[in-house]
A = this chain, B = another copy of it.
Amino acid sequence: MSDGRSFQVQFQPIGKRVTASPDESLFEAARESGIDLASACGGEGNCGQCRIVLLSGNTSPPNLDEEFILTELELQQGERLACCTFARSDLTIHVPRESLITGQRLQIASDLREIEPDPLVRAYPVTLIPPTLEDIRPDLTRLMDGLAEVHGLTELFAGTAVLRTLSTTLRQNNWQVTAFVREREIVGVVAGEKRPLGFAVDLGTTKIAAYLVDLETGNDLASAGVPNPQIGYGEDVISRLNHVSRNPEGGRVLASKVRETLNDLLIDLIYETGVMPEQVVEACIVGNTAMTHLLLQLPVRQLATAPYVAAVGTSLAVPASELGLTMAPGAAVYIPPCIGGFVGADHVAMILACDLDQGNKTSLGVDIGTNTEIAIRKPGMSFLTSASCASGPAFEGAHISDGMRAASGAIEKVRITAADVELTTIDDALAVGLCGSGIVDVAAELYRAGLINYRGRFDKANGRVGNGRFGAEFCLVPANKSGSNRDILITQKDVNEIQLAKGAIHAGLQILLEATDTPAEEVEEVIIAGAFGSFLNVKSAIAMGLFPELPNAQYRQVGNAAVIGAKWMLISREARQRAEAIAQNTSYNELTTYPKFGRKFALGMLFPEPVNSKR
């Protein structure tokens, strides 16, 4: 049923038939038809999440990526990566359940307090008298006169983007409108009476989380999360910066990728809540310094090479139109300041939302992500100290053989008993992979059960330890019990990846304690932020040595505090002032130049002596 230039592809068990041209991958063909296949790498052949099974028809042969990620047996059984496979005839394809994006478990942040809204932009409804030959005041003057009369607003002004819509909006709505005003600027005018809304975003290296918020009540109207589309240009910050430095068009391409994704996300939230795009009058976007530079298309060459200097570290208010966001014509995007120019606005947001700048305890704040930012607050100190650890994306499921996002079928809890493995999966579905909390559990349990030693080496003499493609491995779920019909394994390579991640965080925390002359016993509180952090089993994290021994610490899991901080800065002037103060008063420690960094990192990779945890 091909027209010679494209083919019909039947996806099972979904029962959807799509058209694929020979030069688009099945991943792209599926996505264009609304079938969202899982992917952490954005279709670059790196993550192995978009597995499919070829049931009938001819395709391009497996490429090197597939040969690396898939076993020979899997390839023989027709397993392929959708992003690497191109149709050469009409096809029938089976899509395993774990390859389909189902609703990702959403982040809760129950532990963080609410704040009193005091937004920069407010809504002012007004009804105007239409012009006559005797009263030919310009439209803007008429609006300003009305706002002065009804609401006492004076000395207002408006930019050309607002003026382009004003005359039509007034006349189409019988001169009854709501004006949105930020300080003295009219940023939008909409029909009737409408509420002012805001868009709060945590622009992570790997994931983007966003809220649509009512600015006057502070209520969340909707929230959503998507992968950062720049992943295809490098999983970590440095490779993306290098890509941009090397490619003349790189800066433009990476900026437009993330801007389009942010706008898609915003439009989804707008549709979901049934509001008007012009009601969205303000945004706050936090992210690490590289992410905000890439978003704003600022120069990054000097950020990618020593001495690693940011173009800007102070806060910015950027027109939303410059970032291609579908908002009120005069809407602005607030990008909070960085800390010392390098630790990003996301860290400022986390410190803010956790009230780390205001506490009277000795507190550690840890925001676990592809980069893990840490901060320490001591009651006697007038400022905070922070650092950034290159922990990598292991705890987000990447670089782990059977790693996956925290979606249905992800193993989130693991207990290895003497004879068996006890698992909990999200939605109690058949297991298809391991998400972050499961990965930490597995490492802790393998160590507790003596299946790996303190260096993370599998005990090959142990009968439960198998021998696979990557050397020693442990089978968590055999193929006949899994949701993917494949063994779910944890390999020696996976354990090494977990050790690299935890080693970076462990070393960072130790150095920060030493740099601030803080004995471990003094730490009263550890605040664990980040999407992963909120589902983490803290006992396991301590048992596998993610944190140094902190005998007197209470652990608080606060979820994605960065996006909550972004929301605070969106709805409150005072929160913005606090953010500016945090950026001013937090000193940054560069870990890699710290003399003992290498040794601390190596020690941090080891598994600790079992201790009686306080919890």
A contact set with B: CB distance below 8 Å: 131-133, 135-141, 144, 157-160, 163-164, 166-168, 171, 296-299, 301-302, 306-314, 316, 318, 322, 338, 340-342, 590, 593
Interface contact B136-A308, CB-CB below 8 Å: yes
CB neighbours of A340 from chain B (8 A):
136
| Extra contacts besides A136-B309, A163-B316 (4): CB < 8 Å | A133-B306, A138-B341, A163-B298, A163-B312
CB neighbours of A166 from chain B (8 A):
299, 311
The complex places the Cα of A159 from the Cα of B307 at a distance, in Å, of 24
Interface contact B297-A171, CB-CB below 8 Å: no
Interface contact A137-B309, CB-CB below 8 Å: yes
CB neighbours of A141 from chain B (8 A):
312-314, 341
CB distance from A148 to the nearest CB of B (A): 13
The complex places the Cα of A314 from the Cα of B186 at a distance, in Å, of 13
CB neighbours of A135 from chain B (8 A):
307
CB neighbours of A167 from chain B (8 A):
298-299, 301-302, 309, 311
Q: Return the chain B residue nearest A157 by Cβ.
A: B314
Interface centre among A135, A136, A342, A593 (most CB of B within 10 A): A136
Leading 6 A-B pairs by shortest Cβ distance: A138-B313, A138-B341, A138-B310, A167-B299, A133-B307, A140-B312
Interface contact A314-B136, CB-CB below 8 Å: no
Q: Return the chain B residue nearest A166 by Cβ.
A: B311
Interface contact A302-B171, CB-CB below 8 Å: yes
CB neighbours of A298 from chain B (8 A):
160, 163-164, 167
Q: A296-B160, A301-B167 are in contact. Are A309 and B131 (CB under 8 A)?
A: yes
The complex places the Cα of A338 from the Cα of B136 at a distance, in Å, of 12
Interface contact B310-A164, CB-CB below 8 Å: no
Q: Return the chain B residue nearest A303 by Cβ.
A: B167
CB distance from A296 to the nearest CB of B (A): 5
The complex places the Cα of A384 from the Cα of B136 at a distance, in Å, of 18
The complex places the Cα of A522 from the Cα of B159 at a distance, in Å, of 44
The complex places the Cα of A313 from the Cα of B157 at a distance, in Å, of 11
